[in-house]
Structure 1
Amino acid sequence: MTQPLAAQETDPDTVLTDTIVVTATTPDPATDAVKPPQQIALPADAAAIAARVPGGALVGNGALSGQLSYRGLAGERVLGRVNGQRFASGGPNAMDPPLHYAPSVLVERLEIARGVAPVSQGPSLAGAVNAELMQARFASGESLDAQVRLASQYRSVDESYAVGGLAAIASEDWRLGVLASREEGGDYRFPGGTAVGTSFKRNLYGVHGGLRLAGGEVWAEYRRSETDPSGNPPFALDIVYFDTDFVQGGWRGELSDNVALDLRLGHVAVRHLMDNQTTRQPAAPPMQARATFADADTTTGEASLRFGERGSYFQIGGDFELVDKFVRITNPTNAAFFLDAQPDLASDRFGGFVQWRGALDLVELEAGLRIDHTGQSAGEPELGSAVPMGPRVLGAAFVAAERETADTTVDAVLRGWVPLGDVTPRLTLARKERVPSVLERFAWLPTEASYGLADGNIYVGNLALEPETAWIAEIGFDYESEIATLRPTAFYRRVDDYIQGVPFDGTVGVIDSPVEMVANMNGDPTPLRFANVDAELYGVDLDFALRPVAGVELSGTASLVRGERRDIADNLYRVAPASLRLAGVWQRDALSLGAELVAAAGQEDVSLTNGEAASEGYAVVGLFARYGVTDAIALEAGVENLFDRFYQPHLSGRNRAGASDVPLGDRLPGAGRGVWLRLTAQL
């Protein structure tokens, strides 16, 4: 039976992909070899699990709104998908990044492209993460196969519980499954008090199925995710609801020997409300009360044709992604106060790619090229009669501006590796581009929306932004033997036209423009605008495991990344410090015991341009145990933050809840000491 959180290679492309197996699954060749894991209490936020890979770090924005930072890059630079489906965040400040829709108790595995995503996965500047939820599998015999997988957990530090699972029935020719989960937690405790406003509630349910037909499978799935009132203290507003529907389907299989076709169509509809009244403590006074409604619709389609076998092929494909967004800010106590912060934003992308995989003597190669054309536009904002003159002036200027743009981007990836027995040297060279987001381009109203930076700064968009272009080189090797595993990588990314916030103008602190006047009314006299700068990121990371004797394993990850501006003498904003994760586990028959150390250095290399504060280092220890009651049922337990250490991760958001024991403006601390219990079963 697989265990939670074991990083394990699951297919012939393991040199290209990191896989974290999260929940128990039915036995198959991909998971039988999973070793005892470095177990933790499964967080509701699956981004905290993805952040355990080499080069990973968590951007902590609340229990359900975290993002993966990968080798110094985060946000929309890291491609996020659920069950292979791309979609746009519904929240204007990314309260629902992709992994918001992947409850940990339902995640079967997280796949993270090592360093650079292949062009076949679509455009992305950094790596890519895909959360695969539990799925029904075809039966292996002639009789019907009933499949049940369950996971449940209790965590004392926030009095939370999570329960979820899959029930399915399948034959050799068809499969049908339903899945559901429920999670709820209160405000978490830390050494020194309670982080008020961090409670959460979320439900997910869905159905999926497949039918073997004409040498392949016709498949479809539908899911509904409902996030109920949940606190987000790093943001000015909290979640009231996210009601999101996912639907996708297609056909995958072989047309003939060594000719495979993959077709997929999908749609995601996000409906969102956030405010500072429902869960925020204290609630904002009537004049400052806000309720923001946001919609996001994403329609996607993909088609690819592959000639050859999985390890030796030529592939050609195309895809499209059509996104529509709308955001309206209101005052629930004044019907005449409303304004459209994101008025009918649209981003339509059409792309095509070719990818080749093969060998030249001992060298295995993967090479790909893709071209994308993206058109973006914005509508005209409406403003209520109670909106003051400052926003009206900005709205009129935005209406008069050119609100349509188009970009053509080119990505190229070349990866090579040489299997030499226990050692596999590898090299990656790539050129990657990212089109500015509709928020970065069309944010005409100065607000704190920044795709989840949650730093208290006010940002405004920039119609003149150019796409980011990254030139990437990575080198490393994989070593695998009976007693040791070692996979180090050194990387360098040179990013031209990197997009980040810079001072709005050259007279910082002097309020001499309508943008600064409006920002000052909202509490920030020094707003930032999104702008193109030049940057570079470089570093090393690795994962390792030692198996000195039978039943004992020492394993972990280490990461170091530096991010610097190339146009001025400054550091990039919000880059994670050096970190280390080290775990030891002893296993004997059905029982395993272990401990884990998670440590991070202080971060002194901060951005002066963005007023970023340094952070202190920390080390946190946890204990865990697992007992296999039967082959199908397991009990797990642990203690997190054993020594009740107070710590504040560098990438944690800053507190905005006034009634909290966390001072206003301070980074949110990590959870204090607590116990957790988990039960998993598969029948």
Structure 2
Amino acid sequence: MPLSLFPLSIVSLSILAALLPVSSALADDSGFEIIEVTGHHEGSYSAVNTESSSPQTDISGLLDSIPGAAVNGNGPLTGIAQYRGLFGDRVNTQINGISLAGAGPNAMDTPLSYASLVNSERLEVTRGIAPVSAGTDTLGGSIKVIESQASFDETSGKLAGQYQDNGQRSHLGAKANLGGQDHALLVYADILKGQDNITTGDNKEVKPTTYDKNMVGGQYRFNLSDDNGADESIAIGYQHLETKDAGTPALPMDIDFIRSDRIKIEGQHDIKDWDMNWHLAYSDAKHGMDNFSERMKMPSMNARYNNADSTGFDGTLSIGKDAWLFGLNTQLSEHNSVISDPTKPMFHVDNFNGVTDNTYSAFAQWQQDIDQWNWQLGARVKHYQTDADEVEHSMSGSMPAIKILMDRFNDADRSQSQTGLDLVLNGRYQVNDELSWILGLARKQDSASYQQRYLWVPMQSTGGLADGRTYVGQVDLELETAYQLELGADFATDTLSISPRIFLNRINNYIQGVKATDPAVVMAAQMMGDSNPMQFANVDAQLLGMDVTAIYQLADNWKLDMNASYISGERRDIQDNLYRIAPPKVNLGLNYQSGHWQGRIEGVAVSAQNKVSETQQEQTTAGYALMNISVGYDADSWLVKAGVNNLFDTEYEDHLAGYNRVMGADIAPGERRPGMGMSAWVTGEYRF
């Protein structure tokens, strides 16, 4: 199909899908949709398990197999989740049920980077409008990494490994579960290495894209249940992560180290027929980054080192019975970031100092079958409290503009307190055993990130925007308020499954960068080489689009699967598009399954993205098509798979990959980063 016709084909496909009498998709090797009933929560989510995928350096790569989802890739270990055009803090992301703050002000340690490859069972994305029970801030959807838990009366384990020749990337992982009647212990470890820079289809080297990452963890669980068969237990888990010498070529610095420790205590109880679940989690993370260890520093550039740290606390209590579910949540975090110059001991900048970002919330959710309808109604009240300490800049004495900005920030009322309200209605109408109609309505609110509020001097510490621009924050940003609509259908027979969705997301007070006009901001930015700085502000925005999944059983051993997405994001206050929106995409796979053997041929077609943000000087990208193949043998206790991604070694630009920030490389500074060229890979695992 010619790429110039691709957008038209997407529109035609969406119209056709809306007209078809189309319920849940059948499972396939890449992604699958599930209708789940778990106690008091029923919902629809798309999921992909780690065993079915090709090798990943970061679990965020699995999002490419899920309709409506994508990855903003700033580096091999720095994948930022995007869902239906929204990304970053707007997307509620939980690892093993918790949301804890990262240390990096530029999101080098994204939430998904804390997931263990060997201990993760699957990645789930709530399809459409997330219920209030899914998390505190779900304006941009809900993503959960489901990890293995310590299990009673079970002795099991897994050894897993993978290797990719492009970049010499490898992973070794192991986990083991030892469980008796009353005690269970789970331990796991991951070792990930990227020993070389990746190359593109035109044999250009993308540097730096090497990395070294290790993770260890475990969980102990104690059985509280008695003879009545209630599922009750209490558990404590721990994880230590260490990343070293990892490249992030779309950002102004690379990772020197990330070191974090996380602990979680949790319990589940049956109290007079009420199911109660709770957890308390704490994290302590330290992060160093610089612009000279992994990349060339030009003689005219100043050396910079950033020491950042964060602490985070996450607490949840939920209790449910019959149609009702109630819950309390709190997330507390503190952030610090200091920039220095190793060659000039007197130089220092308080990037962020004593920033606190706290959220307290409560929700109630009701779900009930009424005739042919299943209705889910929920409300969540959220209270946000943020603050920051005074800042210093060693050059404020010699640069009046920086002195003005520093004094203005220190004299301002930096303490902010806001209250938000989420309201969600999801409905499913069961026409018959094959067909269901989907309806979703919501009002959701979200607070600004700490970078958007407290970035006081023009810098690029923007939570991973990777647009090459410098920004300043705005302390008194309003809450983003979204009004969301979703319509869809699920249709399934023995041979065909199709599940289309159309959505509209109208957001008031959407937070993004606008051209800075403050003379002090402009002057300070010009001193640092940027004549067009940005300032975070509230604007009005709208996103609309569609996504569809389909599976067709061709024969006993053959089936086709497809997922397609189209998203359009634009400003409503001016004529402009939103930044970093995933282009239209279709993923089509032909799968073979016979006994233990499996195979897959996959085609990925991505349209050109011409709807770009002029405000943020975003570059357009051309469309492209890729071919991936794989074959595997899955026995009872072991699995081996091999394949080739980008089979024809196509040169292409990934619209979400950001711009190259590295000097003296094959790719010019400011040029859109190309995608990976042909990569042969092999994975294996042994289960016991």
TM-score with structure 2 setting the length: 0.92
Cross-structure match for 2:642: 637
Query: Could you list the per-position Cα deviations for residues 26-81 of structure 1 after superposition, in whole angstroms to 9, with x for gaps in the alignment?
Result: xxxxxxxxxxx5x43x2212112123211112211100001111101111110111
Cross-structure match for 2:408: 397
Cross-structure match for 2:173: 164
Cross-structure match for 2:7: none
Cross-structure match for 1:595: 601
Q: How many angstroms apart in 1 are the aligned matches of 2:324 and 2:398?
A: 59
Cross-structure match for 1:116: 129
Q: How many angstroms apart in 1 are the aligned matches of 2:160 and 2:478?
A: 46
Matched, 1:20 2:48: yes
Q: Which amino acid is the alignment partner of residue 114 of structure 1?
A: R
Deviation at 1:105, TM superposition (A): 3.8
Q: How many angstroms apart in 2 are the aligned matches of 1:278 and 1:152?
A: 29
Aligned partners of 2:174 and 2:190 also within 8 Å: yes
Matched, 1:274 2:289: yes
SS at match of 1:569: coil
Deviation at 1:252, TM superposition (A): 0.8
Aligned partners of 2:75 and 2:248 also within 8 Å: yes
- Measured on the aligned residues, the alpha-carbon RMSD in Å equals 1.7
Out of 559, 562, 567, which is 2:568 matched to?
Answer: 562
Cross-structure match for 1:26: none
Cross-structure match for 1:149: 158
Deviation at 1:287, TM superposition (A): 6.0
Cross-structure match for 2:449: 437
SS at match of 1:620: strand
Out of 210, 220, 224, which is 1:199 matched to?
Answer: 210
Query: Could you list the per-position Cα deviations for residues 484-503 of structure 1 after superposition, in whole angstroms to 9, with x for gaps in the alignment?
Result: 11111000010000000010
Q: How many angstroms apart in 1 are the aligned matches of 2:601 and 2:515?
A: 46
Where in structure 1 do 4 or more consecutive aligned residues deviate above 6 Å? none
1:96-115 alignment runs, 5 A limit: 96-115=109-128
Q: Which amino acid is the alignment partner of residue 275 of structure 1?
A: D
Q: How many angstroms apart in 2 are the aligned matches of 1:7 and 1:295?
A: 38
Q: How many angstroms apart in 2 are the aligned matches of 1:422 and 1:15?
A: 18
Q: Which amino acid is the alignment partner of residue 261 of structure 1?
A: M
Q: How many angstroms apart in 2 are the aligned matches of 1:115 and 1:460?
A: 33
Percent identity of paired positions between Structure 1 and Structure 2? 33
Aligned partners of 1:338 and 1:387 also within 8 Å: no
Which range is displaced more, 114-123 or 650-659?
Answer: 114-123
Cross-structure match for 1:326: 336
Aligned partners of 1:325 and 1:344 also within 8 Å: yes
Matched, 1:544 2:550: yes
Out of 437, 440, 446, which is 2:458 matched to?
Answer: 446
Q: How many angstroms apart in 1 are the aligned matches of 2:668 and 2:422?
A: 45
Cross-structure match for 1:364: 374
Q: How many angstroms apart in 2 are the aligned matches of 1:682 and 1:349?
A: 41
Is the alpha carbon distance of 1:480 and 1:138 closer, same or farther for their aligned partners in structure 2, counting shifts above 3 Å? farther
SS at match of 1:418: strand
Deviation at 1:432, TM superposition (A): 0.6
Q: Which amino acid is the alignment partner of residue 557 of structure 2?
A: G
Q: How many angstroms apart in 2 are the aligned matches of 1:387 and 1:178?
A: 54
Aligned partners of 1:337 and 1:386 also within 8 Å: no
Q: How many angstroms apart in 1 are the aligned matches of 2:451 and 2:207?
A: 29
Q: How many angstroms apart in 1 are the aligned matches of 2:42 and 2:272?
A: 27
SS at match of 2:409: helix
Cross-structure match for 1:428: 440
Deviation at 1:15, TM superposition (A): 4.6
Q: Which amino acid is the alignment partner of residue 376 of structure 1?
A: T
Matched, 1:657 2:662: yes
Out of 194, 218, 221, which is 2:237 matched to?
Answer: 221
Matched, 1:464 2:464: no
Is the alpha carbon distance of 1:297 and 1:387 closer, same or farther for their aligned partners in structure 2, counting shifts above 3 Å? farther
Aligned partners of 1:6 and 1:22 also within 8 Å: no
Cross-structure match for 1:291: 305
Aligned partners of 2:33 and 2:45 also within 8 Å: no
Aligned partners of 2:118 and 2:188 also within 8 Å: no
Q: How many angstroms apart in 2 are the aligned matches of 1:387 and 1:104?
A: 49
Is the alpha carbon distance of 1:165 and 1:116 closer, same or farther for their aligned partners in structure 2, counting shifts above 3 Å? farther
Deviation at 1:659, TM superposition (A): 2.8
Out of 520, 523, 532, which is 1:517 matched to?
Answer: 523
SS at match of 1:409: strand
Q: Which amino acid is the alignment partner of residue 440 of structure 1?
A: Q
Count of residues in Structure 1 that have an aligned counterpart in Structure 2:
649
Aligned partners of 2:643 and 2:680 also within 8 Å: yes
Deviation at 1:261, TM superposition (A): 0.8
Out of 57, 62, 65, which is 1:44 matched to?
Answer: 57
Query: Could you list the per-position Cα deviations for residues 621-667 of structure 1 after superposition, in whole angstroms to 9, with x for gaps in the alignment?
Result: 01100013x31111100011111100111111111111321221111
Q: How many angstroms apart in 1 are the aligned matches of 2:645 and 2:311?
A: 39
Deviation at 1:164, TM superposition (A): 0.8
Which range is displaced more, 156-165 or 120-129?
Answer: 120-129
Aligned partners of 1:5 and 1:22 also within 8 Å: no
Which range is displaced more, 527-536 or 103-112?
Answer: 103-112
Cross-structure match for 2:327: 317
Query: Could you list the per-position Cα deviations for residues 245-291 of structure 1 after superposition, in whole angstroms to 9, with x for gaps in the alignment?
Result: 1111121121123x1111111111111000012212x1354861000
Out of 249, 253, 266, which is 2:265 matched to?
Answer: 249
Is the alpha carbon distance of 1:484 and 1:210 closer, same or farther for their aligned partners in structure 2, counting shifts above 3 Å? same
Is the alpha carbon distance of 1:154 and 1:287 closer, same or farther for their aligned partners in structure 2, counting shifts above 3 Å? closer
Cross-structure match for 1:90: 103
Deviation at 1:387, TM superposition (A): 7.2
Cross-structure match for 1:616: 622
Cross-structure match for 1:673: 678
Q: Which amino acid is the alignment partner of residue 34 of structure 2?
A: E
Q: How many angstroms apart in 1 are the aligned matches of 2:117 and 2:216?
A: 14
| Long gaps (5+) in structure 1 | 24-36, 140-144, 506-511
Deviation at 1:117, TM superposition (A): 2.1
Matched, 1:382 2:392: yes
Is the alpha carbon distance of 1:286 and 1:649 closer, same or farther for their aligned partners in structure 2, counting shifts above 3 Å? closer
